């Protein structure tokens, strides 16, 4: 078994999304893509992405849909759109894939890439795949009840009782 050795730095920042903010805009600080480019604001979700980027110099940037084809098996060509950033503040809006209202995009420049996501908003019901808690427990009760009824029927219909083998 091998071990990796290398420098480690602690992150002293808080979570990037503000508590209770449904649009998942970062309210705490800017997100650095590279030395010259920062994401100032973003709102990703419900199939739309709005991104505000500051750039210190004109440069190309590529935004790709991180959830494109996620519900399909096999390989999927990821749609990407290239933008030419100007010096200063740049606002970008585009349509992206959405799953249950959640979306994600990757933003790439010459110096780096960041992924902006609305997060996953799964159901609060852990039994959702079984038809919810009521569906799961109804199924369990029906199964136990039918098994008890079958056992009662077998015992009552045997004329001599249960025989030993």
pLDDT in tens, 100-138: 778 888 898 888 888 888 776 655 666 666 667 777 788
Specify the pLDDT at position 144.
Answer: 93
% of the chain residues with pLDDT over 90: 16
Q: Would the pLDDT of 3 be above 80?
A: no
Between 61 and 99, name the one with better pLDDT: 61
Query: What is the enclosing helix (H) or strand (E) of 151?
Result: helix 132-157
Query: What is the enclosing helix (H) or strand (E) of 138?
Result: helix 132-157
Query: What is the enclosing helix (H) or strand (E) of 113?
Result: strand 112-117
What's the pLDDT tens digit per position in 22-35?
444 444 478 888 88
Are the beta carbons of 30 and 54 closer than 8 angstroms?
Answer: yes
Q: Rounded to the nearest 5°, which phi and psi values hold at 142?
A: -65, -40
Specify the pLDDT at position 60.
Answer: 92
Average pLDDT value over all residues in the chain: 76
Cα–Cα distance measured from residue 32 to residue 146, given in angstroms and rounded to the nearest whole number? 62
What's the pLDDT tens digit per position in 131-153?
677 777 888 899 999 999 998 88
Q: Degrees (nearest 5) of the Cα angle 54, 59, 62?
A: 85
Given the structure tokens 């790439």, which residue do they identify? 108
């Amino acid at each position: 078994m091998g071990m990796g050795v290398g420098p480690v730095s602690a992150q002293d920042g808080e979570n990037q999304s503000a508590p209770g903010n449904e649009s998942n805009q970062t309210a705490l600080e800017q997100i650095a893509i590279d030395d010259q480019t920062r994401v100032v604001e973003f709102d990703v979700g419900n199939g739309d992405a709005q991104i505000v980027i500051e750039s210190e110099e004109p440069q190309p940037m590529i935004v790709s849909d991180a959830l494109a084809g996620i519900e399909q098996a096999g390989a999927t060509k990821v749609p990407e759109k290239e933008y030419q950033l100007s010096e200063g503040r740049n606002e970008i809006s585009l349509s992206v894939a959405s799953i249950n209202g959640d979306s994600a995009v990757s933003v790439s420049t010459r110096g780096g890439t960041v992924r902006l996501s609305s997060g996953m908003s799964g159901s609060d019901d852990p039994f959702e795949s079984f038809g919810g808690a009521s569906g799961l427990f109804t199924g369990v009760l029906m199964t136990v009840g039918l098994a008890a009824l079958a056992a009662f029927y077998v015992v009552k219909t045997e004329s001599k009782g249960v025989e030993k083998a």
